[in-house]
Amino acid sequence: MNQQSHTRILAVVPVCFLLLSTGIDAHADRSHKTYPRQRLDAEWLVRQVLARNPGIAALRQKWHAARAYSRRAGALADPTLSYSLAPDTIDVPGSSRGEKYMFSQTIPWPGKRRLKRQSAESEAEAVAHNLADLKLKLAAAARMGFADWYYIHQALSINAADQKRWQEYQRIAIKKYGLGQVSKQDAIKAEVRLTMLKHQAIVLRRKQKLVRIYINQLLNNMPDAPLPRPVRLRLPRHKPDLRRLRALGRQHPRLQALQAKLKASELKVKLARRNYYPDLKLMAGYNSLWNDESKRTTIGIGINIPLGRSKRRAEIDQRKAQTTELYWKIQQRRNSVLADIQRQYEKLLESRHTLRLFRTSLLPLSREHLHAATADYQAGKGSFLELVDAQNKLSRTRLQYAQALAQYSKHLAHLLQKSGVLQLDSIKPGSNHESQ
């Protein structure tokens, strides 16, 4: 087991740290740790992350703010009430005070308020789809974190079994050396291998702590909060339906967010065209300075004069260009989504083939090789070097199989994310699984 294979379990950590950069709520209950059946399950972990991650809570509040804004978008401007006074009429004997009151209300050209409100509603809808996209990212991060948690436990389990087996080999080598059947080098080689395995166990436990920190950060827990052992990863009996994944991918939240932004942009183009039309201002007032009382009360109407048609044409051109940009972004994103789904699907198929190869051929052959080498060495027919080679091959094959299972789970997590699928059950043809 080389050092490079150990470090692969940490490849996903930087991405997940970026997802969690929104911070941790200092007032959250971070002591809550309820685990099902004393084993950590990937889909349970996904549900807990979606319920407790502060990034989702923050974006949900942004969505609430956008919805609140859409309710006031397009509302009438506040009316204006003005009052003026003729100072020289104050305290003049035999004369009333000269006062002037004016009330006005601006009324936008018909359709402007509706367009502003609908545009804001589309922007709020885009935020809602961004929230769904964040959930997909965090669900994928949780599934990949679980895959790393599984792999590190398998690596530690293999290491512990190897240490026990090499202790037995050391005992046999010492016994055979005492009988003069082998040289002292066999016992020394066993001791060296046992020491290396103990060192590897220390390295693996350190990496286990790093994975635990990462999962606890997803869960909004304290970094050193304990986590239960993982359940066994299993290879699903059926592979996902590619046609269904493509259909789901065409409704990906990222695409829907862009569609909502496109709709908002189209409404802004219509609103920019309405700016060629004037807004109305309704006015009512009372002026006591007029001697004729019939002239003191006034009502009126005013409009703004939409001069500067070039600036209005420029606004329309700007909005139309932004709309066209979003249209092509949607086309590009749709192609990207379908390509990502195809790539992840091919990786998934390759992982399935690799796992079947390990289960049907490589693991049984490695076990048989070790069994034969052990029997030959104990009978004095084989060399210790052959026993070492057989044991190393079996350990390496078992570790590679655990790594392949974890990698399959990561490919599946990516595939679900790229397809816009949050719940694993939504793409399962059935609930049956093959045993490990």
Q: Measuring CA to CA, which residue among 360, 403, 418 is closest to residue 240? A: 418
d(CA 251, CA 108): 37
- In the chain, the N- to C-terminal Cα span, in Å, equals 22
Q: What is the pLDDT of residue 29?
A: 44
pLDDT at 37: 52
Task: Single out the residue of 232, 332, 333, 316 nearest to residue 273, CA to CA.
Answer: 316
How far is 284 from 401, CA to CA, in rounded Å?
84
Tell me what pLDDT residue 35 has: 55
| Domain topology for 3-427 | Outer membrane efflux proteins (OEP) (1.20.1600)
Q: How far apart are CA 133 and CA 122, in angstroms?
A: 17
Residue 429 confidence (pLDDT): 55
Instruction: Taking the CA atoms of 309, 314, 319 and 320 in sequence, report the sign of the dihedral they define.
Output: positive
Quick one: pLDDT at residue 187?
Answer: 76
Predicted confidence at residue 49, as pLDDT, reads 94
Q: To the nearest 5 percent, what fractions of the chain are helix, strand and coil?
A: 70, 10, 25
Strand spans (E) along 15-95: 39-40, 80-85
| Domain ranges, ordered by start, for the chain | 3-427
Query: What residues does 283 pair with on adjacent strands?
Result: 104, 300
Tell me, what's the pLDDT at 428?
A: 63
What is the reported pLDDT for 18?
Answer: 40
The answer to whether 32 touches 49, Cβ cutoff 8 Å, is no
Burial level of 116, CB count in 10 A (0-12/13-18/19+)?
buried
Q: What is the pTM of this model?
A: 0.80
Amino acid (1-letter code) at residue 394: L
Task: Give yes or no for a contact between 1 and 34, defined as CB atoms under 8 angstroms apart.
Answer: no
pLDDT in tens, the chain (436 residues): 444 444 444 444 444 444 444 443 433 444 445 555 578 989 999 999 999 999 999 999 999 999 999 989 989 889 999 999 888 777 777 677 888 999 999 999 999 999 999 999 999 999 999 999 999 999 999 999 999 999 999 999 999 998 888 887 778 777 766 766 666 777 787 788 889 999 999 999 999 999 999 999 999 999 999 999 999 888 887 888 899 999 999 999 999 999 999 999 999 999 999 989 999 999 999 988 888 888 889 999 999 888 888 898 999 999 999 999 999 999 999 999 999 999 999 999 999 999 999 999 999 998 998 888 888 877 777 777 787 788 889 889 999 999 999 999 999 999 999 999 988 776 665 433 333 3
Q: What is the pLDDT of residue 390?
A: 86
Query: What are the beta bridge partners of residue 103?
Result: 81, 284
Between strands 39-40 and 280-287, the pairing is: unpaired
Identify the pLDDT of residue 125. Answer: 94
